[in-house]
Structure 1
Amino acid sequence: MKKIFTLILFTILLVSCNGSSDKYVLRSSVGKVNKVMVVTQSSDWNGDIGKEIRNSFGELMVGLPQPESTLSVSQVAPNGFNTMMKVSRNIMIIGVSDKEEFYIKNDIYASPQTIVYVYAKDDAGVVALFKKHEKEIIKTFLESDIRYTQNLFSKSKLDETQFKTIQNLGISLTINDKFNYVDDTGNFLWLRQHLSSGIAKTGSNNILIYSVPLEDGIQVSDSIVAIRNKIGKEHIPGSDAETMYMITEEAYTPFTFDAEIDGKIAYETRGKWEVKNDFMAGPFINYTVVDEKNKRLIVFEGFTYAPSVNKRAFIFELEAIAKSMKIK
């Protein structure tokens, strides 16, 4: 009887590992968004290699009221890179080897997982190779986290068919179901997520969606602030609707970058908002998409109100939602 039980157990394990596709099922990865585990010798981490990594990943994110780095990093030595560590979602393995190599692999020890490899023959070579590819490396980790966040939200997706504005604009978005309706005119949508953790439990993440006509000869990137100020005055009131409304912070010039949403030309603007004649303020991220076919600009804006706490994670979630936009 014992032999029969052992045989059955072995058969079950064999089938579960191989299955019909003969592929091993990877473990689920773990790790916070915007965080990278760096696998390198402690001497390298404390030397020029580590300094270059910290300077690069530690570049401050644009538009936040408090200084916050683009990526957070932790370090583990190669001999400490054990089974538990190998399930981290974002990993960079860097150090001295017998040849120079730079490459990226996905889903090696867990899924989803992104691993960047940087090797050179000496410390100076490692630093040079990392600097050569640093923008690509940062972009790779950020895009990986965008996909990860979008996948999480797709599992608890808000039913967007209930919103007149989304239907009228002919778009779709992957918005998590923690957002609630504030206003939906058919031309303007405002959704709000109440933040429930830490000091930010009195705060909120907000989404605005609307469109404006694409006027001939207009310089889109130069009109973004004026458009959002007009929308703020019309739709985002303060405690006194007559004298208080959301505007772009006057003391801080937003940064605008070229972007792409659903294959269309777009502009990404990061900056700070404030309520005119009041003390409320925070960061915003705005994507203005050029829809030439329909002669319009589609605007997605996310803004955060979370006093006294870091806001990188909140803005990153809004960015992930914006980049899920599909225009029908």
Structure 2
Amino acid sequence: MKKSVFWVLVGAISLSACKEAPKREYKPESIGAINSVSVIMDTDLWEGRVGDKIREHFAAPMEGLPWDEAKFTLTQMPEQVFSGATKNTRAVLFVKKDSIERAHIKTDLYAAPQKIGVIKSTTADGLIAHIDSVAPRLVKAFKDQEILAAQNRFRKSLNKESALQKKFGISLNIPSAYRVGREADNFVWIDRQIRKGHMNIIAYTMPGESFGTDSTFVKDIIRMRDSIGELYIPGPDSPDKVTYMVTEKAFAPYVFPAELDGHKAAEVRGIWEVKNYPMAGPFITYIINDPENDRKVVLEGFTFAPSTEKRDYMFQLEAIMKSVRFLETPVKE
């Protein structure tokens, strides 16, 4: 009798726990090409001033590329088409004339991961004002989400080599298509072949006090890059000429503040070229402060892909470098 009462109580408690447990709403996995945004709005707005304002912010040229390529590929569709699987798009911008004023960002509304920018106003001027106000936050939200989406794809098949761990005490999530091509005492070069060229990541360190004042920072970066290029990155053989990678002299690189794995850093975007040889392409460099080891860790990605759009190549390199982790216990050789 006592045993029966015991099991009745256990069952009652279990049922109570089931009732109290919060239900998890199922969200389908989001879809969409990397760096693409679905713009949901009426065609007349898209073809007018409101559409121009959207293109100004979301299709602006990406910094540091040889020719203009938009930050995002925009696909416009009217609201009535935004249904079914289309609602699972990873990045969405919803713009509509309405009786309310609104400019905000929704997360994982129809799928996960997903960011939806919602902009509503009673007038075209109101829509334009809202776009100006929310666009910087929304561009960052889209970009951060795309970086994470790319990194999740990398994890399906990662390179297992440990050169970066052994030499610098760092790790990167690098797709298995990349291979370590060259190692030196303070230098690692990792690359992969692509259809019309190659994509590259290099890593090295500099002393903690390598850079002078803010007024000379860009010059110091160029000097650093050019010296590394001369030491480790030769160009094609050319009769009676010395060739190696340098920073393009005609354009000063762009410099932005950044943070990687909790470390303050500088992000540098620009164009590289080969001294004494007609060869060039884009680069992105991260100079990461590592005060605990009195050094700066430098990661750089650069691409050679003549006559080919390079935005997505450089985006992949950026996503790889932003996966950097500083190891508490570096792997020893």
TM class, shorter-length: 0.7 to 0.9
Matched, 1:210 2:204: yes
The higher radius of gyration belongs to 2
Deviations 1:89-133 (A, max 9, x none): 110111122221222222222222211111122221111011012
Deviation at 1:88, TM superposition (A): 1.2
Tell whether the 8 Å contact from 2:58 to 2:71 is kept in structure 1 after alignment.
yes
Equivalent residue, structure 2, for 1:28: 29
Matched, 1:176 2:175: yes
Give aligned pairs, total: 302
Where does 1:282-297 land on structure 2 (aligned, <5 Å)? 282-297=281-296
Residue 37 of structure 2 aligns to a residue in which SS?
Answer: strand
Query: Aligned-residue CA RMSD in angstroms?
Result: 1.8
Corresponding letter in the other structure for 1:36: V
Where does 1:317-328 land on structure 2 (aligned, <5 Å)? 317-328=316-327
Equivalent residue, structure 2, for 1:236: 233
Q: Distance in 2 between matches of 1:86 and 1:267?
A: 37
Q: Distance in 2 between matches of 1:257 and 1:65?
A: 19
Deviation at 1:24, TM superposition (A): 4.0
Deviations 1:203-240 (A, max 9, x none): 11100011011127723733211111111000001123
Length-normalised TM-score, structure 1: 0.87
Alpha-carbon distance change, 227 to 72 in structure 1, aligned in 2, over 3 angstroms: same
What percentage of residue pairs aligned between the two structures are identical? 36
Equivalent residue, structure 1, for 2:38: 37
Corresponding letter in the other structure for 1:319: E
Q: Distance in 1 between matches of 2:248 and 2:87?
A: 44
Alpha-carbon distance change, 101 to 216 in structure 1, aligned in 2, over 3 angstroms: same
Length-normalised TM-score, structure 2: 0.86
Q: Distance in 2 between matches of 1:216 and 1:233?
A: 18
Deviation at 1:22, TM superposition (A): 3.7
Tell whether the 8 Å contact from 1:95 to 1:123 is kept in structure 2 after alignment.
no
Q: Distance in 2 between matches of 1:160 and 1:255?
A: 32
Moved more, 106-115 or 142-151: 106-115
Alpha-carbon distance change, 217 to 315 in structure 1, aligned in 2, over 3 angstroms: closer
Q: Distance in 2 between matches of 1:251 and 1:167?
A: 37
Deviations 1:137-162 (A, max 9, x none): 1111111101111111122121142x
Alpha-carbon distance change, 108 to 217 in structure 1, aligned in 2, over 3 angstroms: closer
Q: Which runs of 5+ in 1 are unaligned?
A: 1-19, 196-200
Corresponding letter in the other structure for 2:197: G
Equivalent residue, structure 2, for 1:100: 101
Q: Distance in 2 between matches of 1:112 and 1:186?
A: 41
Residue 230 of structure 2 aligns to a residue in which SS?
Answer: helix
Equivalent residue, structure 1, for 2:9: none
Tell whether the 8 Å contact from 2:95 to 2:119 is kept in structure 1 after alignment.
yes
Equivalent residue, structure 1, for 2:6: none
Equivalent residue, structure 1, for 2:306: 307
Residue 277 of structure 2 aligns to a residue in which SS?
Answer: coil
Equivalent residue, structure 1, for 2:192: 193
Q: Distance in 1 between matches of 2:62 and 2:172?
A: 25
Q: Distance in 2 between matches of 1:69 and 1:75?
A: 15
Tell whether the 8 Å contact from 1:91 to 1:116 is kept in structure 2 after alignment.
yes
Equivalent residue, structure 2, for 1:10: none
